[in-house]
């Protein structure tokens, strides 16, 4: 029998991951879960990497402009400060954090905290991104969300970079990325000529 996160028989303290490509609704789903926890009168804290300033320096903002207050941090270790009062911790853009994030998530879960992590599972090259693979392997619950490929209408699983910049981290929106299915992603620049 599958137990939903928070089921009465579930011990407190676990890790949930929301992953997928760009524009798949990861942050939207994170915000939804955090708001539901607040409705249940649970103390919630949200964190994001200090480098992610696309929409706001201090808030987590979805592409649909839903917002939740957050604390920007330079290191995942900073998340471990002042935790005594929190029952739920949200972490957005996990792929941009350092390699200590999986251990931080483990420590939080062992303290009885529900940890909800959202992030890209693959970079624009289609390779595992940052600490996400390790977090996925230690999580109790994993939700993979999908965007829609604008070229064929299939489920998009990849983030295709529209620019020629080769750096792993390049913050951007629809001007720099688009979601693509596996086939359209592998066709690469051929599709860009049709746009």
- Residue 129 has φ and ψ, to the nearest 5°, of -110, 120
What is the predicted pLDDT for the residue at 8? 52
Catalytic residue chosen out of the listed positions 16, 29, 93, 178: 93
Report the C-alpha gap between 17 and 47 in whole angstroms.
14
Across the chain, which has 195 residues, the per-10-residue mean pLDDT values are 50 93 94 95 94 60 64 94 87 96 97 96 95 98 97 95 74 76 85 51
> What pTM value is reported for the model?
0.84
What is the predicted pLDDT for the residue at 54? 59
Strand-strand pairing, 147-148 and 155-156: antiparallel
Annotation marks residue 134 as catalytic? no
Report the C-alpha gap between 188 and 8 in whole angstroms.
47
What is the predicted pLDDT for the residue at 176? 83
What is the predicted pLDDT for the residue at 94? 96
In sequence order, what E strands does 50-157 have?
A: 59-61, 67-69, 71-73, 88-91, 114-120, 141-145, 147-148, 155-156
| Of residues 179, 172, 188, 121, the one with CA closest to residue 148 | 179
Write out the two tokens for 70.
């957050």
What is the predicted pLDDT for the residue at 170? 67
What is the predicted pLDDT for the residue at 195? 46
Q: Cα separations (Å) of 67 from 38, 61, 87? A: 14, 5, 20
What is the predicted pLDDT for the residue at 3? 47
Domains and their CATH numbers in the chain: 14-145 (3.40.50.300)
Write out the two tokens for 189.
């620049």
């Amino acid at each position: 029998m599958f137990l939903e996160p928070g089921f009465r028989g579930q011990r407190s303290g676990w890790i949930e991951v929301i992953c997928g490509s760009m524009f798949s609704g990861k942050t939207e789903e994170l915000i939804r879960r955090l708001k539901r926890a607040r409705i249940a009168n649970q103390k919630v804290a949200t964190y994001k990497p200090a480098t992610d300033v696309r929409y706001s320096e201090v808030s987590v903002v979805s592409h649909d402009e839903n917002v939740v207050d957050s604390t920007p941090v330079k290191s995942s270790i900073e998340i471990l400060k002042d935790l005594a009062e929190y029952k739920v911790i949200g972490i957005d853009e996990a792929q941009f954090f350092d390699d200590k994030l999986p251990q931080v998530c483990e420590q939080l879960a062992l303290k009885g905290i529900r940890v909800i992590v959202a992030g890209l599972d693959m970079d624009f090259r289609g390779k595992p991104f940052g600490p996400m693979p390790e977090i996925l392997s230690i999580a109790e619950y994993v939700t993979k969300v999908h965007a829609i490929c604008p070229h064929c209408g299939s489920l998009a699983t990849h983030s295709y970079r529209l620019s020629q910049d080769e750096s792993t981290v390049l913050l951007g929106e629809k001007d720099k990325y688009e979601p693509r299915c596996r086939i359209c992603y592998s066709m690469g620049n051929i599709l860009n000529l049709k746009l």
